[in-house]
Structure 1
Amino acid sequence: MIEMKTVADVIEALIGVFLCSTSEIAALAFMEWLGIEVDSIYVPYIRPLPANPGEVVDLRFFETRLNQYSFHDASLLAEALTHGSYTRPENPRCYKRLEFLGDAVLDYLITMHLHNEHPNLSSRLLTDLRSASVNNDCYARTAIKAGLHQHILLHDSQHLKRRILTIVKNFKQSSQDSTSGWESEPVIKILADIIESLAGAIYVDSGYDKEVVFQSIKPLLEPLVTPETLKLQPGRELKELCEKENFVRKEEDGKLEVNANGAIYVCGLTAANKKTAEKIASMRILEMLKKNYDAGESHIQPRLSCDIRQVR
């Protein structure tokens, strides 16, 4: 009996064949033939009131950051930078709608780029590359490096502004070599959202031209992650290490614990949300475990009990 997921995977693969060998139009036609109705008619993007973007955003700054892309309707740029706490009659919408759109567009563009750039990689490795390229940490670090955080309209949210300044300060004190973001401290999601909202704004402003979006956003994301520079998400890396070395990993009572050949490593799950807490705890335990690698051995040596510490 064929499982439903197998059937779904085959359908997705066939759509991918049409995308790679013919065109998006052919892929949409195939989906319609399958009974998957997709409305590909673009509806004009209308804001309820006109904006005066020159008063709220530095248009020249964003041209230099976005590979010289110049907005035809710069009020889209103003919308992409407007936080929900700062809406005005001349700028009535926040960035959320454009972020929702840009998230999907960037995911598609980076997926296509990785698929075309690395034709011999397995689907699992392609998925790892995409996960390391399309995540909040990566986008947030990108926004900080480009100085975009200074242009988010946050005048009515001083608390959030202070939090961003703290994150930026911590970022500047850490290594900026990698764009994967896994090794970074927790970020404020709005710093990642700004990359996606900019992508959404360019997508609409360019007449829904995905290539223009990619060429405009790509310089911000470079260097893109490659198989050589790929770093696994800390939780995934720790799980795979535990499986390989037969370590016992468990989460309970608000703690992540790893029993490595009798040596116990514990880290409290204290972040605001479970995903971030697991990432931080995994990073800390991986750091302690890797310190115990014996260069001449294929496995991790357990620590002495006096050296084992609990990280909170």
Structure 2
Amino acid sequence: MINLEILLESIGSFEERINYKFKNKKNIILALTHSSYANENRNERLSSNERLEFLGDAVLNIIISETIYNNYPNLSEGQLTKVRANIVCEQSLVKCSNNIEVGKFLLLGKGEDISGGRTRTSILSDAFEAVIGAVYLDGGMKNAKAFVYSQMEHLIKDSVSGIIFLDYKTQFQEIVQKDGEKKIAYEIVEENGPDHDKEFVAQVKVAERIIGKGKGKSKKEAEQAAAKAALEMLSTK
């Protein structure tokens, strides 16, 4: 059972952290409610943040697309797509989520909480997008833009400058397939550690030949690390 007084106090602290005060507190409570909590507390008839994350993802993409389109007129369509992908990738969203300590305020089921859900990358990135959706529903596009800019303006500039995380898989594919189609395959070859702190090892093959290996806290991160290693190997040839 939710202690309403404690919950509202927590919401107030979060509002101060993101510099936005919700007119309807239900919007931000929904954004911070993980499916594990909703499932464990069905008698409270709570929904999870999954639908709101879906909306926030769409809002974030239009904000970032419009921003880089208007501010960087010299970028081609392909370059705009890459810049946007760098900004809205899981790694960037997790950084933003950690900056405002989303994990601290999440409503999680007991099992999810015990197993490290407050630091799980997928939960944090989804919750950050749900917060964007909540701000959009509560205050419209103007406030959603202000929130996104406050959290991601530096990521936009760094992405255009090529400083932050790059999509190594795309770069590797472009190099390998520039002279024709070659089959590229990624495989997860190891999983180490407990469920709440997994480490994955991935390898990338070209025509059945292993080109690179890499580690990461998620399968996607491990695949990107493998692609990065493959790129580094190619650059030494």
Does the pair score TM above 0.5?
yes
Equivalent residue for 2:15, pick from 52, 58, 63: 63
Matched, 1:212 2:135: no
| Letter in structure 1 aligned against 2:92 | C
Q: CA 1:157–1:284 in structure 2 vs 1: closer, same or farther (change >3 Å)?
A: farther
Matched, 1:200 2:133: yes
Matched, 1:134 2:80: no
Matched, 1:98 2:49: no
| 1:258 CA displacement | 5.7
Mapping for residues 27-66 of structure 1, pairs under 5 Å: 54-56=5-7, 58-66=10-18
Aligned to 2:167: 233
Q: Secondary structure at the match of 1:86?
A: helix
| Letter in structure 1 aligned against 2:27 | L
Q: Looking at secondary structure, tell me which structure has more strand per residue.
A: 2
- Superposition TM-score, scaled by structure 1 size: 0.58
Q: Secondary structure at the match of 1:256?
A: strand
Structure 1 runs (4+) deviating above 6 angstroms are: 268-272
Mapping for residues 40-189 of structure 1, pairs under 5 Å: 54-56=5-7, 58-66=10-18, 68-87=19-38, 88=41, 89-90=43-44, 92-158=46-112, 161-162=115-116, 164-165=118-119, 188-189=121-122
Q: Looking at secondary structure, tell me which structure has more helix per residue.
A: 2
> Is contact 2:33–2:48 with CA below 8 Å preserved after alignment?
yes
1:88-126 C-alpha deviation (Å, 9 max, x unpaired) = 455611111211111111111111111111122211111
Of 82-91 and 69-78, deviating more is 82-91
Aligned to 1:289: 233
Matched-pair identity in %:
26
Q: CA 1:164–1:258 in structure 2 vs 1: closer, same or farther (change >3 Å)?
A: farther
Equivalent residue for 1:191, pick from 124, 127, 130: 124
State the superposition RMSD in angstroms. Answer: 3.3
| Letter in structure 2 aligned against 1:278 | E
| 1:267 CA displacement | 2.6
Gaps of 5+ in 2: 189-202
| Letter in structure 2 aligned against 1:198 | V
Larger radius of gyration: 1
Q: Secondary structure at the match of 2:154?
A: coil
> Is contact 2:23–2:138 with CA below 8 Å preserved after alignment?
yes
Q: Secondary structure at the match of 2:35?
A: coil
> Number of residue pairs matched?
213
CA distance in 2, matches of 1:276, 1:190: 15
